[in-house]
Amino acid sequence: MQRRVAIACGGTAGHIHPALAVADAYREAHPDTDILFIGTPVGLESTLVPARAYRLEMIPGQPLAGEPFSGKLRAIGSLIAGIAAARRLLVENRTEIVIGFGGYATAGTILAARSLGLKIAVHEANVEFGMTNRWLARLAGRVYFAFGRTAAGLSEQRALVTGNPVRREIVRLAESIRQRPARAHGTTRFFVTGGSGGSNFLNRETPALLRKVAACGIKLEALHQAGGFPLAPIRAAYDRCGVCASVTDYIKDIVSAYDWADFVVTCAGSQTLSEIAICGLPFLAVPLSSAAAGHQVANAAAFAEACGALWVPENACDTSRLAREIAATLERTGPRRMPTAIDAAGKIVADCERMLRNG
């Protein structure tokens, strides 16, 4: 019997890539599965999802948290319209289960699924339970978590700790790294990324940080993903600091970037940290101070503890101290750690199938 699955996600790559990982795993386990992605016109889903040859339909959706009163009114109106649009799509597609990964489209789609009596699952990628996901979790038959501590308070029947789904190409890269000899020491390659949106702090501070790392005797070069920020000032800062760096706005082939890198300087989006950890890369995480409810701080602390890596908040960033710690990390571990592949996407697919079989 052909499965009919709808996946709601959108906004940033951190919401979309785990959703794509689950879609790929579903197709791998059940090749005839019909998968419908539901998003909004304002996020990266409009390019990332069609690029993977999945069908994408758009519904209305706008941010609610942190908006002024007028913005909240617009968001509520958009949510109501989004529910109606999602209901039509789910009925037309004869959807059996909806899986939500966050983004403006998720609330409307989950509420539409609830009104139709469909199976519902939600994935929470962060250590701190997001406000929207906490609310939507009450409607879900299953909630998938990246971290066990986030599941506290939910019944064992509804909570399942899976980790973060990671794209197959990242898992394949991790397996390839594990099977090949360690890279010879020479020039250390630093990959700097603030995620798909970029980090103004990393764009501003990393050139000086890497200059101080170089002063510790580390020969290095950098690849810097700046997000939506102007590139010329960042390039100029690297030039002033005497650091050889390639600066770009967005890297489509992130697998090649991870394969190229020996060390990563990153913000603390849970999906990015999951990919870095699976690839076995040492890293420094600097949580975005602008992240909703400061949730990246908990992500950075949890991943750094699990991986033995470095993290620091933006307001406590001492570049001289961090440069010494980065140099010591590279001296101690070498440029590449042993990766650990985790099949979170496969776990989610298997559990969704159990939900559907059990009625």
Sequence-separated (6 or more) residues with CB below 8 Å from residue 137? 122, 124, 129, 143, 154, 158
Q: Clarify whether residues 68 and 139 are in a common domain.
A: yes
Structure tokens at 355: 């939900």
Q: Clarify whether residues 205 and 146 are in a common domain.
A: no
Helix, strand or coil, per DSSP, at residue 342? coil
**Each residue's pLDDT tens digit, 278-326:** 998 999 999 998 887 788 999 999 999 888 899 999 999 899 999 999 9
- What is residue 96's predicted lDDT score, i.e. its pLDDT? 97
**Each residue's pLDDT tens digit, 112-163:** 999 999 999 999 998 888 778 888 989 999 999 988 888 777 777 899 999 8
Range of the domain at 261: 170-333
Q: Clarify whether residues 134 and 282 are in a common domain.
A: no
As a whole number of angstroms, the distance between CA 102 and CA 85 comes to 17
**Each residue's pLDDT tens digit, 203-253:** 999 999 999 999 999 999 999 999 989 999 999 999 999 999 999 998 989
Q: Clarify whether residues 159 and 175 are in a common domain.
A: no
Please give the mean pLDDT across all residues of the chain: 90
Q: Clarify whether residues 237 and 124 are in a common domain.
A: no
Domain count, the chain: 2
Q: Clarify whether residues 50 and 149 are in a common domain.
A: yes
- What is residue 339's predicted lDDT score, i.e. its pLDDT? 52
Q: Clarify whether residues 265 and 350 are in a common domain.
A: no
Q: Clarify whether residues 219 and 136 are in a common domain.
A: no
Say if CB 303 and CB 266 are below 8 A apart: no
Q: Kindly indicate the confidence band of residue 165, based on its pLDDT and cuts at 50, 70 and 90.
A: very high
Q: Assign residue 350 the CATH number of its domain.
A: 3.40.50.2000
Pairing of strands 119-124, 34-39: unpaired
Q: Clarify whether residues 154 and 174 are in a common domain.
A: no
- What is residue 292's predicted lDDT score, i.e. its pLDDT? 78
User: Across the chain, where does the E strand assignment appear?
Assistant: 4-8, 34-39, 55-58, 97-100, 119-124, 142-145, 159-161, 188-193, 220-225, 245-248, 263-266, 283-285, 310-311
Q: Clarify whether residues 178 and 158 are in a common domain.
A: no
Q: Clarify whether residues 16 and 129 are in a common domain.
A: yes
Q: Kindly indicate the confidence band of residue 335, based on its pLDDT and cuts at 50, 70 and 90.
A: low
Task: Tell whether the model's pLDDT for residue 72 goes beyond 80.
Answer: no
357 versus 64: the higher-pLDDT residue is 357
